Amino acid sequence: MATGSATCARGPGSTGTRIVPSASIRHRKSPLWQRPRGKRSRPVHEAIRQSLEESGRLLQTLAPSLAPQIERAALLILEAFRQQRKLLIMGNGGSAADAQHLAAELVGRFSRRERRALPALALTTDTSVLTSVGNDFGFESIFQQQIEALAQEGDVVLAISTSGLSENILRGLEMAQAKGARTLALLGRDGGKVKGLVELAIIVPSPETPRIQEVHLAIEHVLCQEIEKHFSA
């Protein structure tokens, strides 16, 4: 009999069939959310609390040094928008999601109800472009080709990378420079190779990717806040 199966039994004089669960089903533990709270949950709660506190401490520690850098980045992007230029954003994995998040907040709205849409584009969303370029030229060219096609002088290209080492990011920034675009980066660890290719690198000096990404998201929200307040409908 397969593990977790049940058997059918017919009692004496019975006119129906009774389902008898196997021992493995009878003794299977209930889901976590149905179990009574007790001492066993404390280590889990402690780990969660520690993760939240680590994230908060890192952001609090870095806030004094991040604030002036975020202001510079916001002013650079703001200047581009005022000159009818656009923001192009690139990243891989979780940073690709960050790129889309930031673009959505600017094209839509962050917190102000009444303001015009702002021209921001994540280079991580068009699967046809990404797969065709990746297939024909290689994954390392997926941002380079888009920037060559879309970037104009005075645009801003923002790279988001926790390592600062991704080849497709490096090639994208080199193309941005060739097109006369301004360049920014949100980075982690020591900034990697990317920090040497941009006008302004905002670096989160943590070895842990989740913590870096959490601070990057906070930076993106503050950028939106500072940019948005300069625009009305």
Residue pLDDT, tens place only, 120-146: 999 999 999 999 999 999 999 999 999
The reported pTM is: 0.81
Residue 34: pLDDT above 90? no
The fraction of the chain above a pLDDT of 70, given in percent, is 81
- pLDDT (0 to 100) of residue 114: 84
How would you classify residue 191: left for phi > 0, otherwise alpha for psi between -120 and 50, otherwise beta? left
Domain boundaries, the chain: 63-228
Tell me the binding residues for Zn(2+).
101, 105, 213, 221
Separation of alpha carbons 164 and 172, rounded Å:
12
Confidence (pLDDT) at 121 = 99
Q: Which CATH number fits domain 63-228: 3.30.465.10, 3.20.20.80, 2.60.40.420, 3.40.50.10490?
A: 3.40.50.10490
Q: Which residues contribute to the annotated binding site for substrate?
A: 92-94, 105, 135-136, 161-163, 166, 213
Which of the pair, 9 or 100, is modelled with greater confidence?
Answer: 100
Predicted pLDDT at 141 = 99
> In the numeric block, which tokens belong to residue 87?
């923001």
pLDDT in tens, 65-106: 999 999 999 999 999 999 999 999 999 999 999 999 999 999
H/E run at residue 158: strand 156-160
Q: Judge contact between 78 and 87, C-beta under 8 A.
A: no
